[in-house]
Structure 1
Protein backbone atom coordinates (compact mmCIF):
# COMPACT_ATOMS: atom_id res chain seq x y z
CA UNK A 1 0.00 0.00 0.00
CA UNK A 2 1.18 3.46 -0.79
CA UNK A 3 1.20 6.27 1.72
CA UNK A 4 -1.64 7.95 -0.19
CA UNK A 5 -3.92 4.87 -0.08
CA UNK A 6 -3.26 4.48 3.66
CA UNK A 7 -4.25 8.11 4.24
CA UNK A 8 -7.40 7.69 2.12
CA UNK A 9 -8.34 4.51 4.00
CA UNK A 10 -7.86 6.30 7.35
CA UNK A 11 -10.00 9.26 6.24
CA UNK A 12 -12.72 6.90 4.99
CA UNK A 13 -12.71 5.11 8.32
CA UNK A 14 -13.01 8.39 10.23
CA UNK A 15 -15.95 9.45 8.07
CA UNK A 16 -17.81 6.12 8.09
CA UNK A 17 -17.29 5.06 11.71
CA UNK A 18 -19.59 7.72 13.26
CA UNK A 19 -22.27 6.86 10.70
CA UNK A 20 -22.05 3.17 11.53
CA UNK A 21 -22.33 3.90 15.26
CA UNK A 22 -25.23 6.35 14.95
CA UNK A 23 -28.76 5.56 16.23
CA UNK A 24 -29.87 5.12 12.62
CA UNK A 25 -28.08 1.78 12.87
CA UNK A 26 -29.72 0.88 16.15
CA UNK A 27 -30.46 -2.76 16.80
CA UNK A 28 -33.97 -4.00 17.52
CA UNK A 29 -34.35 -6.74 20.16
CA UNK A 30 -37.59 -8.43 21.12
CA UNK A 31 -38.95 -9.82 24.37
CA UNK A 32 -41.93 -12.12 23.85
CA UNK A 33 -44.51 -12.14 26.64
CA UNK A 34 -46.34 -15.45 26.89
CA UNK A 35 -48.80 -16.44 29.58
CA UNK A 36 -46.55 -16.92 32.61
CA UNK A 37 -43.18 -16.55 30.86
CA UNK A 38 -40.84 -14.19 29.02
CA UNK A 39 -38.60 -15.20 26.13
CA UNK A 40 -35.32 -13.23 26.22
CA UNK A 41 -36.15 -11.73 29.63
CA UNK A 42 -32.55 -10.68 30.35
CA UNK A 43 -30.92 -8.94 27.40
CA UNK A 44 -27.95 -6.70 26.69
CA UNK A 45 -28.14 -3.87 24.16
CA UNK A 46 -26.06 -0.89 23.13
CA UNK A 47 -27.00 2.71 23.78
CA UNK A 48 -29.60 3.79 21.21
CA UNK A 49 -30.93 0.27 20.61
CA UNK A 50 -34.65 -0.50 20.68
CA UNK A 51 -36.33 -3.24 22.70
CA UNK A 52 -39.84 -4.34 21.74
CA UNK A 53 -42.07 -6.27 24.10
CA UNK A 54 -44.54 -8.36 22.09
CA UNK A 55 -47.53 -9.70 23.96
CA UNK A 56 -48.27 -13.15 22.57
CA UNK A 57 -50.25 -14.28 25.63
CA UNK A 58 -53.71 -13.26 24.48
CA UNK A 59 -54.13 -11.50 27.85
CA UNK A 60 -53.46 -7.89 28.82
CA UNK A 61 -50.03 -7.43 30.37
CA UNK A 62 -48.64 -4.47 32.29
CA UNK A 63 -44.97 -3.51 31.74
CA UNK A 64 -43.39 -1.52 34.57
CA UNK A 65 -39.77 -0.55 35.08
CA UNK A 66 -38.20 -0.28 38.52
CA UNK A 67 -38.67 3.10 40.14
CA UNK A 68 -36.31 5.84 39.00
CA UNK A 69 -35.52 4.38 35.57
CA UNK A 70 -37.49 7.04 33.71
CA UNK A 71 -38.89 4.35 31.37
CA UNK A 72 -42.63 4.12 30.73
CA UNK A 73 -45.19 2.00 32.53
CA UNK A 74 -47.71 0.77 29.99
CA UNK A 75 -50.22 -1.92 29.14
CA UNK A 76 -49.01 -4.23 26.37
CA UNK A 77 -51.87 -5.28 24.16
CA UNK A 78 -49.79 -5.77 21.02
CA UNK A 79 -46.27 -4.39 21.09
CA UNK A 80 -44.45 -1.65 22.99
CA UNK A 81 -41.02 -0.39 21.94
CA UNK A 82 -38.57 1.45 24.21
CA UNK A 83 -35.32 3.08 23.04
CA UNK A 84 -32.54 3.01 25.63
CA UNK A 85 -30.28 6.06 25.37
CA UNK A 86 -28.44 5.85 28.71
CA UNK A 87 -26.06 3.08 29.80
CA UNK A 88 -27.17 1.20 32.89
CA UNK A 89 -29.27 -1.69 34.13
CA UNK A 90 -33.04 -1.44 33.82
CA UNK A 91 -35.05 -3.93 35.88
CA UNK A 92 -38.60 -4.46 34.67
CA UNK A 93 -41.68 -6.42 35.63
CA UNK A 94 -44.54 -7.76 33.56
CA UNK A 95 -47.80 -8.44 35.35
CA UNK A 96 -50.54 -10.48 33.77
CA UNK A 97 -53.84 -10.63 35.70
CA UNK A 98 -54.09 -14.41 35.15
CA UNK A 99 -50.41 -15.23 35.88
CA UNK A 100 -47.56 -14.48 38.23
CA UNK A 101 -45.39 -11.37 38.03
CA UNK A 102 -42.49 -11.88 35.64
CA UNK A 103 -39.08 -10.21 36.00
CA UNK A 104 -36.51 -9.20 33.41
CA UNK A 105 -33.51 -6.95 32.93
CA UNK A 106 -32.19 -4.79 30.11
CA UNK A 107 -28.48 -3.98 30.38
CA UNK A 108 -27.41 -1.04 28.23
CA UNK A 109 -23.70 -0.69 27.37
Structure 2
Protein backbone atom coordinates (compact mmCIF):
# COMPACT_ATOMS: atom_id res chain seq x y z
CA UNK A 1 0.00 0.00 0.00
CA UNK A 2 2.86 2.38 0.84
CA UNK A 3 4.44 1.71 -2.53
CA UNK A 4 1.22 2.63 -4.32
CA UNK A 5 0.91 5.84 -2.29
CA UNK A 6 4.51 6.83 -3.13
CA UNK A 7 4.01 6.14 -6.83
CA UNK A 8 0.74 8.08 -6.80
CA UNK A 9 2.35 11.03 -5.01
CA UNK A 10 5.27 10.96 -7.48
CA UNK A 11 2.86 11.03 -10.42
CA UNK A 12 1.04 14.01 -8.89
CA UNK A 13 4.37 15.88 -8.59
CA UNK A 14 5.31 15.12 -12.20
CA UNK A 15 1.90 16.11 -13.59
CA UNK A 16 1.85 19.24 -11.43
CA UNK A 17 5.32 20.24 -12.60
CA UNK A 18 4.37 19.78 -16.24
CA UNK A 19 1.22 21.85 -15.73
CA UNK A 20 3.25 24.69 -14.16
CA UNK A 21 5.64 24.71 -17.11
CA UNK A 22 2.70 25.53 -19.37
CA UNK A 23 2.00 28.71 -17.35
CA UNK A 24 5.50 30.19 -17.56
CA UNK A 25 5.20 33.29 -19.77
CA UNK A 26 7.53 33.53 -22.73
CA UNK A 27 9.59 36.70 -22.70
CA UNK A 28 9.40 38.84 -25.81
CA UNK A 29 12.56 39.93 -27.57
CA UNK A 30 12.97 43.65 -28.16
CA UNK A 31 14.35 45.18 -31.35
CA UNK A 32 15.44 48.79 -31.33
CA UNK A 33 14.97 51.39 -34.07
CA UNK A 34 17.19 54.47 -33.66
CA UNK A 35 15.82 57.69 -35.11
CA UNK A 36 18.53 60.19 -36.04
CA UNK A 37 18.10 63.66 -37.55
CA UNK A 38 19.01 62.12 -40.92
CA UNK A 39 16.26 59.50 -40.62
CA UNK A 40 15.71 55.96 -39.39
CA UNK A 41 19.01 54.09 -39.01
CA UNK A 42 17.66 50.72 -40.26
CA UNK A 43 14.52 51.26 -42.37
CA UNK A 44 13.52 47.56 -42.23
CA UNK A 45 13.30 45.78 -38.88
CA UNK A 46 12.44 42.07 -38.84
CA UNK A 47 11.05 40.47 -35.68
CA UNK A 48 9.22 37.31 -34.67
CA UNK A 49 5.58 37.21 -33.67
CA UNK A 50 5.24 38.36 -30.06
CA UNK A 51 8.39 40.49 -30.10
CA UNK A 52 8.52 44.18 -29.21
CA UNK A 53 10.00 47.09 -31.14
CA UNK A 54 11.29 50.20 -29.37
CA UNK A 55 11.79 53.44 -31.29
CA UNK A 56 14.45 55.64 -29.67
CA UNK A 57 14.68 59.38 -30.26
CA UNK A 58 18.38 60.11 -30.93
CA UNK A 59 17.70 63.40 -32.75
CA UNK A 60 17.91 65.88 -29.91
CA UNK A 61 14.49 67.13 -31.01
CA UNK A 62 11.88 67.02 -28.23
CA UNK A 63 9.06 65.43 -30.26
CA UNK A 64 8.83 62.46 -32.64
CA UNK A 65 5.64 61.74 -34.56
CA UNK A 66 5.19 58.07 -35.59
CA UNK A 67 2.47 57.20 -38.13
CA UNK A 68 1.45 53.69 -39.18
CA UNK A 69 -0.30 52.95 -42.47
CA UNK A 70 -1.88 49.93 -40.79
CA UNK A 71 -1.13 49.71 -37.07
CA UNK A 72 -0.42 46.43 -35.30
CA UNK A 73 -3.29 45.06 -33.21
CA UNK A 74 -5.18 47.76 -31.33
CA UNK A 75 -2.45 50.40 -31.39
CA UNK A 76 -3.13 53.92 -32.63
CA UNK A 77 -2.32 55.06 -36.17
CA UNK A 78 -0.54 58.17 -34.82
CA UNK A 79 1.78 58.40 -31.84
CA UNK A 80 3.82 61.22 -30.35
CA UNK A 81 6.75 60.55 -28.05
CA UNK A 82 9.78 62.31 -26.65
CA UNK A 83 12.47 59.78 -25.72
CA UNK A 84 11.15 56.34 -26.76
CA UNK A 85 8.06 54.22 -27.36
CA UNK A 86 7.57 50.45 -27.48
CA UNK A 87 4.97 48.34 -29.28
CA UNK A 88 4.43 44.58 -29.31
CA UNK A 89 3.77 42.85 -32.64
CA UNK A 90 1.73 39.66 -32.23
CA UNK A 91 0.49 39.04 -35.77
CA UNK A 92 2.72 38.23 -38.76
CA UNK A 93 2.70 40.85 -41.47
CA UNK A 94 4.37 43.99 -42.77
CA UNK A 95 3.74 47.26 -40.93
CA UNK A 96 4.95 50.36 -42.84
CA UNK A 97 5.42 53.53 -40.81
CA UNK A 98 6.55 57.13 -41.25
CA UNK A 99 8.56 59.16 -38.75
CA UNK A 100 8.32 62.96 -38.55
CA UNK A 101 10.97 64.72 -36.49
CA UNK A 102 9.64 67.76 -34.63
CA UNK A 103 7.82 70.23 -36.84
CA UNK A 104 9.77 69.33 -39.99
CA UNK A 105 7.82 68.28 -43.03
CA UNK A 106 10.55 65.78 -43.96
CA UNK A 107 9.28 62.21 -43.63
CA UNK A 108 11.45 59.17 -42.92
CA UNK A 109 9.94 55.82 -43.83
CA UNK A 110 10.48 52.40 -42.38
CA UNK A 111 8.68 49.12 -41.89
CA UNK A 112 8.41 46.33 -39.39
CA UNK A 113 8.31 42.79 -40.79
CA UNK A 114 6.82 40.25 -38.39
CA UNK A 115 7.46 36.58 -39.17
TM-score, length basis structure 2: 0.69
Contact map agreement 2:70 2:95 (CA 8 A) in 1:
no
Structure ID, larger Rg: 2
Contact map agreement 1:47 1:86 (CA 8 A) in 2:
yes
Contact map agreement 1:53 1:79 (CA 8 A) in 2:
yes
Alignment of 1:26-65 (within 5 A): 26-59=28-61, 60-65=63-68
Contact map agreement 2:71 2:95 (CA 8 A) in 1:
no
RMSD: 2.2
* Corresponding residue for residue 8 of structure 2: none
Contact map agreement 1:28 1:52 (CA 8 A) in 2:
yes
TM-score, length basis structure 1: 0.72
Query: Are 1:93 and 2:98 an aligned pair?
Result: yes
Contact map agreement 1:91 1:105 (CA 8 A) in 2:
yes
Query: Are 1:107 and 2:109 an aligned pair?
Result: no
* Corresponding residue for residue 75 of structure 2: 71
Runs of 4+ more than 3 Å apart: 67-71
Unpaired runs of 5+ in structure 2? 1-17
